[in-house]
Every structure is written in C-alpha cells, then in structure tokens.
Amino acid sequence: MNLKIIEKAQIAQFVESIPAKKIAPVKEDGLITFREISSAEEIFWDFLNTRKSPKEFLFPQSERLFRYQRTDHGFEIGLDEIEAEKKALIGLHPCDIKSFLILDKLFDNERYQDNYYIEKRKNTLIIGLACNHPLNTCFCTSVDGGPFSSEGADILLTDLGDRYLMQIVSEKGKEFGSKFKDAQKSDIAEMENRKKQAISSIKTNINLNGLYKKLEEIFEEKIWETLSEKCLNCGACTYVCPTCHCFDIQDEIKADKGIRIRNWDSCMFNLFTKHGSGHNPRTKGFQRMRQRIMHKFSYYIRNFGVTACVGCGRCILNCPVNMDIRGVLNTLIKY
C-alpha cells in the first residue's frame, strides 16, 4: 500500500532520518525561504508560499562550470567535480515540484543534456506537501497542475490536522514508507475532502487552449505596449519564478587564471539580448515583457509541449508595480 500515516509527533524524526542534506521552508529575516536545515524543528510547515522558488537547488543563481589557467604550453582546463551531494527538498508545494518537470525538458532532452543540472536532479529526493490553502494569487489549475497533484514528487505529504497522509509516489520514495502504518479509509476520505476544498478555493480559471498560436499571430500588435506600460523591466518576476531558466555565461579572469560561470539572466533586462556588435533587437521594455509571455505561453509549448508556468503567483506577489500575469493572459485571450 502506498498510502501511509505519520503522526505529527513523528514528523521531525522522519525528516531527520533522511540520509541527505535537508532543505525546507523556514522563517528567516522576515521572509519564508527554502534553505538547508540543521533540525526538523526549523521547518515552517504552515507556510502559504515562499518568496523565492526552490529552483536554485537544481539550477543555482551562479554556478561555476570549469576553471582554466594559462601556462607556458597553452591553456589547462580544470573541470570541477559536479556537485552530486544527496539532497532532500522537503515541503515543496505541487506547483514547485511541477516546475522541475518543466525544467527537465530543457536541461535534459534528446538533443542536450546539462550534466550540472542532471547530476543534482538525480540526487534529489522530493518530499512534497499538498497545498491545503492556495493563495488568492494561485492559478495552478489553469496550467495543468493542482494543489494536491503528486506529479513529480517522490513522496507527497498531506496535512490532515494531527497527522500527515504520506503518499509514496516514486521508487525512490518507497524505502521511506515501510516504517509507517497504512492509511485507513477515513484518512483517505479526509484527504479527498481537503483536496476538493483546496481546488474549489482557487478562483482563477484561465483557458489557455490555443493561446500559444494566437500569441504568434498578435506578436506585432499594439496591445503589448499597453500591457507593459507600467512594467519597470526589473528582473523580480523572473528571479522569483520557478520556471524561468535563462542564463548568461561569463568568464571571470584574474591574471592567468579564470573561471567560466553560469549566472541567472533575465529577459527583462536590456542587456539580455544585446549583441557583441552593439545591436540590440529588444531595446524597448514592451518587447522584453512580450518575450517573457511568449517564452512561457508559446515558444515553450512549441519546443517542449508544455506551458512554462506553474501558477504559483510569485510574480504577482513580488512585482513592484503589481503586474498581474493572469490579467495579462486574460487580456491576450480576449484580444
């Protein structure tokens, strides 16, 4: 049976028994944030959303790719050991877990395999937490997700008040379930009940069917300028987003030694598309915001068959000018 029960009193012990570096939501500096924990007591289980997404644990904001050194007989390249530490990401809501499945398509596909990402991904155990209280800004159900979706998780926990229902989803998750007693019918009914409540509390319903084609057709329309008028073209939305994955490769050189490093980049920035020649195909703010929407809701579907948005609402919550991606999408749909 793949449904188990953990009493709340047992959860700390369970977390601490996981033989990996544990990363979970905690309260820190007034924010709720994912970071490594030293004790299960630190975990803030009742969080609604975290400020940043957990993508940085698979795709760090800055990641060294290799080192090099100039010597008398040419350059010597030093490949770094790829970080392959065992990690457990604990307490991820289904939207954040889904973002990994979306990132997988880019970093690990037939044409291209990014070992830096793949190694971390392989060594990461995902213990999700069903989302009992979706926020007003949440819209996961509009982008093929759901607050109780177990897709992509190894284990999914559901808070049932005094206990957690533990859903063993993957092979990787199996070894952790054996110690716990099986869930009863009443536990499952309680979970179903909470699931129904959570889904019905999501008020946003955006019909994205066919939008990816339409976006291509209205690429040149004036509407983009109107929609983006207040946008500051800062990178807050892209950097808190769990699926935004654009990066920039940089060489940092000191005398004869250098490193090649990969840093997050944002299509919101003017520099993002600036060519070596000085020419920039996206000098205007609206072109950059359009790119963000096109990439998530059109190009990614063309390239990989999925929407590059999980409906977590972080961009809405953290935008300095209160841009609402749901509103933008609805305007485009109606346009």
Partner 1 sequence: MENIEKSIREEVRKLLGDKSVDVIIGYEMGIIPLRSAPSFIYKIEDTDKLVWNSFCENNLARFTRNREDKIGVIAKGCDSRSLMVLLKEKQIKRENLKIIGVPCRGMIDRHRIEREFSLEGKEILETIEMGEEIILKGLGFERAIKKADYLFISCRLCRHRNPVIYDLLCGEMVAEREEIEDPLLRSFEAMSPDERWAYFLKEISRCIRCYACRDACPNCYCPECFVDATQPQWFGTSQNISDLQMYHIVRAFHQAGRCVDCGACSRACPMGINLRLLLQKLNLDVKNLFDYEAGLNLEEPAPLQAYKIDDSNEFFK
Binding site residues, partner 1, CB under 8 A:
27, 29-32, 44, 46-49, 51-52, 61-62, 133, 135-137, 229-230, 232-236, 238-240, 248, 250, 252, 261, 263-266, 269-271, 274, 316-318, 320-324, 327
Least spacing, CB of residue 223 vs partner 1, in Å: 14
> Among residues 177 and 258, whose Cβ is nearest to partner 1?
258
Nearer to partner 1, 4 or 194 (CB): 194
By the 10 Å C-beta count (0-12 exposed, 13-18 middle, 19+ buried), 155 is classed as buried
Residue placing its CB nearer to partner 1 in the complex, 155 or 236: 236
Task: State in angstroms the smallest separation of the CB of 258 from partner 1.
Answer: 11
Taking the least distance from each CB to partner 1, the nearer of 269 and 304 is 269
Q: Strands of 21-28's sheet, edge to edge?
A: 31-36, 21-28, 87-92, 124-129, 155-159, 163-168, 3-7, 181-182
Q: CB burial class (10 A; 0-12, 13-18, 19+) of residue 333? A: middle
Q: How far is the CB of 30 from partner 1 (least distance, A)?
A: 5
- Shortest distance (Å) from residue 316 CB to partner 1: 7
Could you tell me where the DSSP H helices lie in the chain? 8-16, 94-107, 115-122, 171-177, 185-201, 211-217, 223-227, 236-240, 285-294, 300-304, 314-318, 325-334
- Bridge partners (DSSP) of residue 257 are 69, 254
* 49/298 with CB nearer partner 1: 49
Q: Closest distance between partner 1 and the C-beta of residue 205, in Å?
A: 16
Task: For partner 1, give the closer residue by CB, 2 or 201.
Answer: 201
Nearest approach in angstroms of CB 236 to partner 1 is 4
- Is residue 117 within 8 A of residue 107, CB to CB? The reply is yes
- Nearest partner of 315 among 218, 222, 247, 234, judged by Cα: 234
